[in-house]
Structure 1
């Protein structure tokens, strides 16, 4: 049976991989229930089904760059590393990337993967048009400006099977990455604005017990940087986000200039991520609530210590996708990498939610959380509109599963 990337989910059905769009359309048309499995980087049963489990990775590969309108059209099965390499070859770029270049573009967009940067919106914000196979097997295209578009990209697979995405591109750019050790953890709150405005993309790594924080600054080429900064010092060697792990597969550090697609991710494309070693949770708080959230996390540090591997803090600019974690507000993402022991992790996650949800936190759709449907409706104000949209495109519930029935009941 097929498992997800982390190995904590065994899917209920074998994966079918159609080779053409018409074959995919026929599978959808004839199936009672359908879900799509991307690159398997979710940590809950969002992709599971007892019906037909599909992969779009076998569809004809498309990466068509249009220089006349600054766009690229890509088949849904492509991974970010493949798309970004093709763009870089043509002198084009995307505005933002996630930590791993190995994730599928369609899957990342559908679940709200975001990247980092004070002025950078999440990955789904680059989508200007989406084409999907609807419940009747017909192709539907929605584009920016269409009334239904804001609910169509971060859709959790509830509208149909995505086959094509058109993304905004921009001229290629170069970045350098500098890692700092020893930022005093208290400065995350007192110097929050300065820290996260200091580079195009910034990540801060901590376990909320260690008094020292590691900061990765990804800066435009030519931006000056200091050997000491806010009480931290430039790292004397390459670093992995988890201090005890070897840094062999991390992207180039030490201020060496390189292309955007070789610096924005934390890990190199040629690195194959390990399986079965972690669980993940993530919560998104309004930017103004970040200092208070940091205080709560330090208070819970000893509670998390037995199960946490690392926590990452990033910023995201507001966007308008209905189910986006940063919908309508500038946001701070609080990411947690746990040990691979769900029974031990879930009570800690519940304690985290008790502390963070009153601050306006939104759980990540594709990761481990304990919130119920009523809570999610409070966290994500556009849930009623999205549920109505899904009902119009899929009135019989072909794309629904236990996850959607539990957390986004129709």
Structure 2
């Protein structure tokens, strides 16, 4: 049976797929292999995890969730999902600063690709990493901590440095959120973009570049019935207009734990109600947000035939070398496309042309066609840690300019 990613649009070419059950077994596989890659939960839409060598999947490794209450940190196995981690952390009275739309994704894969949630003050998921452990090319185990030489390059690394086995993440005290959906946001309301995105702990705009709705995840109750010309949704909503909302997290302002409000989708439900899909996302400097969004609204009629929905989010800057948010507060513009490559490619090309003047960076786990720049410090780190290219693949070699 052919192994594919979650969306089914990428078939992995690996000659063998291994599910090690211990660290020693993993070390042996890495040491003996000539080409090897780690695969997380398979939620990337491109070939970032692909290889013609061996794939290792850490889903059968012993579960590790070790909470240090005094230090407010948790050590977690890379194959653990955010859903499982959040449940354990919350039970101990703590929280992760933020979560992505889906709780089903693995910690290791999400961190390696710069995956993010939303919120003016919230950084990407990888920014919470204070330490990581990885198996390097000779099968040895290496540990890096925040402040160590090369640490800022090893966190978002696309699997190019080794197989990450465990990560240590910062925690915050547990908290409650309420989730509201507002309907009818018009393009004219973009003049108030900063105020809109500041009106919650986490805020998302869902749009088809004609009709736009706002997801507000707030600590406080929300009572402004006339906010930016919108109206409150009177029933639970799915991000895709008209889809049943049964898989979505609780809305209508009902307070609940952070991990049951920050994701858009429930951990105990399938992660999508749209059926087959493809995804792209581009991260822009915050200062360009309104101008870029206006340009996308202007070409919306040409995007809609290939589009399920777009999501707009804000993400705070970090200092990780390969992070799409390195050194700049950002706005992410996400596209959930129909699963029709012939229809999507022209639309994706139009998006890339439209956003080109605004210095876009791609999400590493989604579809893009223009090769991004690779920071020189990351290129040098790869040469130092994996000189023979054991962990390289076509995706990494292209990024490195090889």
Quote the residue 2:214 is aligned against.
215
Quote the residue 2:386 is aligned against.
394
Quote the residue 1:239 is aligned against.
237
Offset of 1:303 from its aligned partner? Answer: 1.2
Offset of 1:279 from its aligned partner? Answer: 0.2
Quote the residue 1:158 is aligned against.
160
SS of the residue 2:305 aligns to: coil
Quote the residue 2:265 is aligned against.
267
Quote the residue 1:103 is aligned against.
105
Aligned CA-pair RMSD: 1.1
Offset of 1:238 from its aligned partner? Answer: 0.5
Offset of 1:68 from its aligned partner? Answer: 1.3
Contact 1:346–1:369 (8 Å) recurs in 2: no
1:280 correspondence with 2:279? yes
SS of the residue 1:306 aligns to: helix
Contact 2:73–2:168 (8 Å) recurs in 1: yes
SS of the residue 1:355 aligns to: helix
Offset of 1:244 from its aligned partner? Answer: 2.0
> Deviation string for 1:172-214 (max 9, x for gaps)?
0000001111111221x20111100001000000011x2x311
Contact 2:3–2:11 (8 Å) recurs in 1: yes
Offset of 1:7 from its aligned partner? Answer: 0.4
Offset of 1:69 from its aligned partner? Answer: 0.6
Contact 2:95–2:173 (8 Å) recurs in 1: yes
TM-score by length of 1: 0.95
Q: How many Å separate the matches in 2 of 1:348 and 1:142? A: 41
Q: How many Å separate the matches in 2 of 1:276 and 1:320? A: 36
Q: How many Å separate the matches in 1 of 2:362 and 2:342? A: 19
SS of the residue 1:390 aligns to: helix
Q: How many Å separate the matches in 2 of 1:48 and 1:121? A: 27
Offset of 1:276 from its aligned partner? Answer: 5.8
Quote the residue 1:137 is aligned against.
139
Q: How many Å separate the matches in 2 of 1:51 and 1:317? A: 37
Offset of 1:225 from its aligned partner? Answer: 2.9
Contact 2:103–2:265 (8 Å) recurs in 1: yes
Q: How many Å separate the matches in 2 of 1:118 and 1:124? A: 16
Q: How many residues align?
A: 399
Q: How many Å separate the matches in 2 of 1:347 and 1:184? A: 26
Q: How many Å separate the matches in 1 of 2:186 and 2:270? A: 33
Matches within 5 A, 1:1-400: 1-13=2-14, 14-187=16-189, 189-208=190-209, 210=210, 212-220=211-219, 222-274=220-272, 277-372=276-371, 376-377=372-373, 383-400=375-392
> Deviation string for 1:220-275 (max 9, x for gaps)?
1x344323311001101100000021101110000000000000000000012359
Offset of 1:351 from its aligned partner? Answer: 1.5
Q: How many Å separate the matches in 2 of 1:356 and 1:265? A: 27
Contact 1:131–1:142 (8 Å) recurs in 2: yes
SS of the residue 1:191 aligns to: helix
Quote the residue 1:407 is aligned against.
399
Q: How many Å separate the matches in 1 of 2:226 and 2:283? A: 30
Contact 2:247–2:271 (8 Å) recurs in 1: no
Q: Which runs of 5+ in 1 are unaligned?
A: none
